[in-house]
Chain A
Amino acid sequence: MKKIPILWVILFLVGLLGMSCSPNRSSIFGRWTFRPEKSTDLVTWRYRTPEVVIRKEQQGLSIVWHWMRRKKIAFTDSVELVPNGTPVHVPVTSPIWPENWYMGVLSKLNTQRTFSGRWLKPEKRLTVQKEQRVTISQGETTITTRYTYDVSNGGNTLTITEKRSSRPTPITYIFVREAK
């Protein structure tokens, strides 16, 4: 009978230690696995599956979208930015427009995409704005896309909402934190 309170104290301390050692488990930082059944129906470039990695950097953060084909990375789209900092520019080196394979839209080669972001809730909720030039049948145009990265209270689910200036409806991606 005397051992039980001691056991509870040990368990409590272990739990407390665990929480203090992994602060990121409840933030947006981490590697995220796509859950298509909970997301908007996507038609990504050649049916690739997205995987998102968000890392804390010395200054700001990096967001990496891997487009996976049969568990291999087919191509990568990444940006490093400082929330509330100055916009960053990323050169376009491929005409692939990964967002939608069924639409006659290509990324405009030799242009730059511009990214800016800010925290809506530090390390929990982030908004990123992207501007890009695209090639369409009538020539070229600009798409402005606003992404919201929102991690659930338990820290296990990441919801990314994508609102394109050209699209009447938003696209929702649901990811779960990759198990270690």
Chain B
Amino acid sequence: MNSNRIHKKGMAGRQIGLFLIGCFLLLAGGARAEEQKYVMSLSSDWRVAGDLPEKALLLSLQGVVNREKPQLYFLYPKDWDFKFSAPLLKYYETSRGMHFQTLSTVDEAVHLLGRKARGYVVWDPKAPTTLVVAFTIAGLTHSLVVTEALIPLMRQYQLPLKADLRKKFRGKSDYEINRWAYQRFWKQCSRKYLVMLGGQRGKVMKPGIADFGVLKGAFFTNLSTDPADSQEYRLAKKIFSEMPPLSMIMGWHVYGKDSEAQYVTLASHYALRVEGLHTLPNMSFNHQIPLSPGYKFHNHHNIQPNKRYIPQKKVYIAFIQTDCLGLGAWTEPGRGDIPYAWEVTMNWYWLAPAMLQFFYDEATPNDYFIGSLSGPGYMYPQAIPAKWRPLVIQKAYTLMKKLDLNAFETMEHSRYWQSDGVNDDLSRQVVSDYFKGMPGAIGFANGYRPAHTFAVQNGRPFLSFDYYLSEKRDEKEAVADLQELANLNAKRPYFLLVHVREWSDIERVKRILNQLGQDFQLVPLDVFFKLAGTEPTFKTRFAGEY
């Protein structure tokens, strides 16, 4: 009996064991299914009359399905502004163990994932601004955006029609269409995010950021921020004014309608932060991938604590690559060969943490990160109302500390189009606010093209760019420009801060550097700031003091 009982017990034990193993396998299988992600390559055709309708559908699908969890990722073509969608995918696979199933066609994507949508919105390629409105509706109703030609695909999956924007907007102005959308949808939309769906317009649109706007239920617009376009400007201003300070304006201004300077100025007037571009890819996915457990951001600092940095009679030169990480040179050859400073898009800390970790993990000892740009996002210091400026600086400084950054960069273009591009400078009060609000910053860089604000406080310099290295500038002439600056600024040491435009690669910078002569010495930016703070040979100057 006993033995029988024991045997029975053993049998029961084995059955329970098998049951548990089965459960484990099922759960594991389920977990694998949970982790199933999809990747699809996008082509270079973004023409309204070409592949844009399919791309718009895919971007709305991405925004809708990634609401549930991050599961759809796109590989962008080589000519896309942001170059990192492929290396970042690889990084996710290796560092996060993600598995991606490749999708080849729109039909396949809709077949596998379309059931997560609650309907569809039809836009009209003959009135391309209806696409902007369609994305707003898609975000509010969890829908896909389609043109007439794609309606049969929606019907195939029995998705209901949520809105039809065909025909009714033909011949209407952007103002009329945006006003209509504002009156109907603005109240339901997020106040923390707005998408300026600008960039190219007319025959081509590249709405790479649309998935994120759909994810967040944001209002999409393409209004002009040029005060001369008074109707559109007034509506844009009204919308911006109804967002709380420090909210996010994702996307970019509309080329040919207004200027970057006007766009960022208007946003800064309401202490809103611009996060470009309209082509920023996969943000609905990247937004949801956390840092590795226990991960801390570590910058490659070059200064030693308690060491005194005494400059010699030399021309000290430092390079800062601007215009956002991942545009241009980061993925090009030469990175790591020479000391180089990179603007960090600091909001990625919370907007796309793992994506920012990817850049920190990839950085070489010669890649030194700095905070930017004027605030926690792209802003113009002179345009930010004085009552909000301390908060803006404090928020930026908090991000700097989290990202192990001890240098900061400002850019001021709020008078750019009125001053014929002369006045890129900061007032004494604004400079003082940065010194005060960022006590741990060892130095500040200012400008885009050369600017003329210079100051120093307790060994911490505030220096403007003295040279803008365009990717198109003839190399021999660039060498002559830099040598001429060294001749004009005859005192030694001379501190020559160079802004390298994003599309210049480091090999080109090295070739220029090698022709400058022995008087020049390249140093890492943090060392540059320390040397400049020790012996500031520049003249203190603020906005308007020419």
Contacts and interface: CB of A to CB of B under 8 A. Distances in A.
Contact of B452 (A74, A137, A169): A137
A135 B546 contact: yes
A136 B468 CA distance: 15
Contacts of A164: 484
A138 B488 CA distance: 9
Contact of A104 (B421, B450, B469, B480): B450
A105 interface: yes
Given A96-B422, A104-B466, A167 B546 contact: no
Interface in A94-121: 94-96, 100-106, 108-109
Contacts of B397: none
B473 A104 contact: no
Nearest to A170: B480
A105 B450 CA distance: 8
B487 A167 contact: yes
B425 to A, nearest CB: 11
Interface stretch (B28-36, B180-188, B489-497): B489-497
Interface in A121-180: 134-139, 141, 143, 164, 166-169
A166 B420 contact: no
A100 B422 contact: no
Contacts of A169: 476-477, 480
A175 to B, nearest CB: 19
A168 B483 contact: yes
Interface core residue of B470, B480, B488, B537 (most chain A CB under 10 Å):
B488
B546 A109 contact: yes
Contact of A101 (B449, B489, B490, B546): B449
A65 interface: no
Nearest to A105: B488
A74 B449 CA distance: 19
A46 B420 contact: yes
Interface residues of B, number: 36
A104 B491 contact: no
A100 B454 contact: no
Contact of B494 (A40, A102, A135, A138): A138
B538 A138 contact: yes
A41 interface: yes
B286 to A, nearest CB: 34
Interface in B508-546: 537-539, 546
B467 interface: yes
B449 A102 contact: yes
A141 B476 contact: no
A108 B454 CA distance: 17
A137 B489 CA distance: 7
Interface in B462-479: 463-470, 473-474, 476-477
Interface core residue of A100, A136, A141 (most chain B CB under 10 Å):
A136
Interface in B432-480: 449-452, 454, 463-470, 473-474, 476-477, 480
B485 interface: yes
B93 interface: no
A74 to B, nearest CB: 8
Nearest to B483: A168
A102 B480 contact: no
A7 B537 CA distance: 77
Contacts of B450: 102-105
A100 B465 CA distance: 14
Given A40-B477, A41-B473, A43-B470, A167 B484 contact: yes
B464 A137 contact: yes
Contacts of A94: 420, 422
A109 B422 CA distance: 12
Interface in A70-98: 74-75, 94-96
Given A166-B484, A168-B483, A138 B539 contact: yes
A135 B476 CA distance: 24
B476 A108 contact: no
Contact of A138 (B420, B480, B491): B491
A103 to B, nearest CB: 6
B422 A106 contact: yes
Given A41-B473, A137-B538, A138-B537, A104 B546 contact: no
Given A96-B422, A104-B485, A167 B480 contact: yes
Contacts of B468: 101-102
B505 to A, nearest CB: 18
Interface string A21-34: 00000000000000
B485 A103 contact: yes
B481 interface: yes
Nearest to B470: A102
Given A43-B477, A103-B466, 13 more contacts: A41-B474, A46-B420, A101-B421, A102-B473, A102-B481, A104-B452, A104-B467, A137-B452, A137-B539, A138-B494, A138-B539, A139-B539, A164-B484
Interface of A: 40-41, 43, 45-46, 74-75, 94-96, 100-106, 108-109, 134-139, 141, 143, 164, 166-169
27 contacts: A43-B473, A43-B477, A95-B546, A96-B422, A101-B468, A102-B449, A102-B450, A102-B468, A102-B481, A103-B466, A104-B451, A104-B452, A104-B467, A105-B450, A134-B488, A135-B452, A137-B463, A137-B464, A137-B466, A137-B489, A137-B495, A138-B491, A143-B488, A168-B480, A168-B483, A168-B487, A169-B477
